[in-house]
Structure 1
Amino acid sequence: MKNTGFVRDVHLAIEQVEREAWFDMYAAAPAAIVQRTNIAFRRLGTAIGLADRGTPIAEFNRVLGLGIDEPASEDELERAIAWMKEHAVPSHALQLAPTARPEGLPQSLEARGYRRTGNGWAKYYRDASPAEGHPIPTALEVKLVRPEDAAHFGQVVQAGFGLPAAVADWQSALVGRPKWNVYAAYDGGVPVACGAMFIDGGWAWLGVDATLAEYRGRGAQNALIERRIADGIAAGVSGFTAETGQPSEGEERKNKSYGNYHRAGFTRLYVRPNYVLPQA
């Protein structure tokens, strides 16, 4: 990334493809699960609101893309907050990329009671150069999940992250869906890890990286990342993005996901903070 204009374009592209991936993920939720767990999603100007009271964590209850495509107006901000308060858990987050406009957006959130909380999310970028194989190949086999095996993916997502049972059927619905490539790593015929790739506008978002506890440390995620990069390049992708939680200073090497993406040639471009309403 050699010039300011290119960096700005990359920042916009990686925020947009992540936004569209999550919006489409919510659109994929089966009607029965939506009704049972109060899943909701909506475009809020150029941002999106995501809500799932059945999964009360920030990843599933947040505003994404605020002020990215164009400056967020006070009205857009008010509508986003009102929608989240109505549909999401009280601990929902508004995420602001460093390029979000107007520049005073963080202060506008703070004036409404939101506070920057935690370390935020590390946002990564990678170009479309081939990935180097890990020096110690895994014995696990990575496969593109077929529709008849969709439950393999959902089960690993649910168990690997320790999420509510309904998440398994929801995530299984991504298999075979347009723009999605969904993968699992197998030990024999047993699915033990997974990852997904969403492609839109020549960009790929990598996410939903989960590994069953007893299979961690066996190279599954390195192999899943390499496979998605290779398949994305074959599909004409020009750039990749992913995100992980930002470790505390000095703790980076202890965070497996953080290390996996750096090892695969991704560069951390910035940290995107979470703004949350303090809970009594």
Structure 2
Amino acid sequence: MDRQATIVEEDNIEAKAFIDLFKVAPQTFQNQVHFDCVSLGGGCAISLPSAPAIGLNRILGLRSVDDLHIAYEWMRKKHGRRYLQLNAQAASAKTREWIETRGLPAHGAGWAKLRREAPLAPMSHIGHVLPRKVTVDEAEKFGAMMCAGFGFPESLTPLWSAIVGKKGWTCFFGELNGEPIATAAMYASNGWAWLGGGTTVFRARNRGAQKALIAARLNEGAAQGVKTFVVETAQPSADETNVSHANLLTSGFRQIYTRMNYLLPEKS
């Protein structure tokens, strides 16, 4: 068995979140931007060519070479910069050989995968930013703010707006002086939760918004019966620190592995 299988649920809940993101996205949006997703082997392959983020153009959570091959052939037909993500250190020799045979280069320092158990008591956060849940009638504002924070094109607003109020999803604003300045989301299923969508508009950064939103999601997840939380962020390096990584460690998360991003060849 592939040693990649030693970490299963931590990747499965992330894949489930993105599969559900695809399912709740409006059909008109899917058609307009060629948004597509396929679920297999506990993971998925997802493609949204106009999105600059790796997270929306990747193969994730697959643990067999057969599944990797199916996903790879599916993804080869898609446009944009596409990636294969996996824990290279835990992958079997067969999986590493499969990657080498196709000449897939590693891209950047990779992603840090972090995990923590639910807090035993509600977490508090001292600061001026106050988190609150997003209401359904604020969905478009939430989607637009997330796009602005991450530098996504405005055309992707309907994608992130679609998760507000949907089963399994809880979305938050971080407010400063009563004005939303940050976003965050949580997807929960079967005692696990994936955290994502954490961003702050540029003018209000370094005010503690993301620490407040991490605590809010941990408290909300625990109230919903979540036992384990997972999250990903860019792997820090000697040349480049990562504030998000530091905030997560401060909030009780621990890194469980580094996931490499392998760049797929351009569509021929």
TM-score above 0.5, yes or no: yes
Match of residue 232 from structure 2: 243
Shift of 1:77: 2.5
SS for the counterpart of 1:48 is strand
Shift of 1:256: 1.2
The one-character-per-residue Cα deviations of 1:69-116 (angstroms, maximum 9, x if unpaired) are: xxx143x33221111111242x21111135865442122012012122
Return the alpha-carbon distance in structure 2 between the equivalents of residues 81 and 113 of structure 1.
13
Aligned partners of 1:61 and 1:88 also within 8 Å: no
1:133 maps to which of 101, 124, 133? 124
What does 1:102-251 align with in structure 2 at a 5 Å threshold?
A: 102-129=92-119, 130=121, 132-134=123-125, 137-249=126-238, 251=240
Shift of 1:265: 0.3
Aligned partners of 1:125 and 1:266 also within 8 Å: yes
Please give the TM-score of this superposition, normalised by the length of structure 1.
Answer: 0.87
The one-letter amino acid paired with 1:258 is H
Aligned partners of 2:22 and 2:37 also within 8 Å: yes
SS for the counterpart of 1:176 is coil
Return the alpha-carbon distance in structure 1 between the equivalents of residues 196 and 58 of structure 2.
16
Return the alpha-carbon distance in structure 2 between the equivalents of residues 216 and 56 of structure 1.
21
Match of residue 5 from structure 1: none
Please give the TM-score of this superposition, normalised by the length of structure 2.
Answer: 0.91
Shift of 1:56: 3.6
Aligned partners of 2:142 and 2:160 also within 8 Å: yes
Change (3 A) 1:200 1:99: farther
Aligned partners of 1:57 and 1:92 also within 8 Å: no
Say whether residues 1:63 and 2:59 are aligned partners: yes
1:16 maps to which of 12, 17, 39? 12
SS for the counterpart of 2:109 is strand
SS for the counterpart of 2:108 is strand
Return the alpha-carbon distance in structure 1 between the equivalents of residues 48 and 31 of structure 2.
11
Say whether residues 1:49 and 2:45 are aligned partners: yes
Q: Give runs of ≥4 in structure 1 deviating > 2 Å.
A: 44-47, 97-104, 129-134, 187-190, 277-280
Return the alpha-carbon distance in structure 2 between the equivalents of residues 111 and 188 of structure 1.
55
Aligned partners of 2:12 and 2:43 also within 8 Å: no
Change (3 A) 1:204 1:84: same
Change (3 A) 1:86 1:56: farther
The one-letter amino acid paired with 1:181 is T
2:21 maps to which of 15, 21, 25? 25
* Count of equivalent residues: 262
Aligned partners of 1:66 and 1:100 also within 8 Å: no
Say whether residues 1:268 and 2:264 are aligned partners: no
Aligned partners of 1:128 and 1:238 also within 8 Å: yes
Aligned partners of 1:122 and 1:272 also within 8 Å: yes
Aligned partners of 1:50 and 1:88 also within 8 Å: no
The one-letter amino acid paired with 2:40 is L
The one-letter amino acid paired with 2:124 is G
Q: Tell me, which stretches of 5 or more residues in structure 2 are unaligned?
A: none
The one-letter amino acid paired with 1:255 is N
SS for the counterpart of 2:110 is strand
Return the alpha-carbon distance in structure 1 between the equivalents of residues 109 and 255 of structure 2.
14
**Aligned residues with identical type, % of pairs:** 34
Return the alpha-carbon distance in structure 1 between the equivalents of residues 96 and 61 of structure 2.
14
Match of residue 83 from structure 1: 74
The one-letter amino acid paired with 2:103 is G
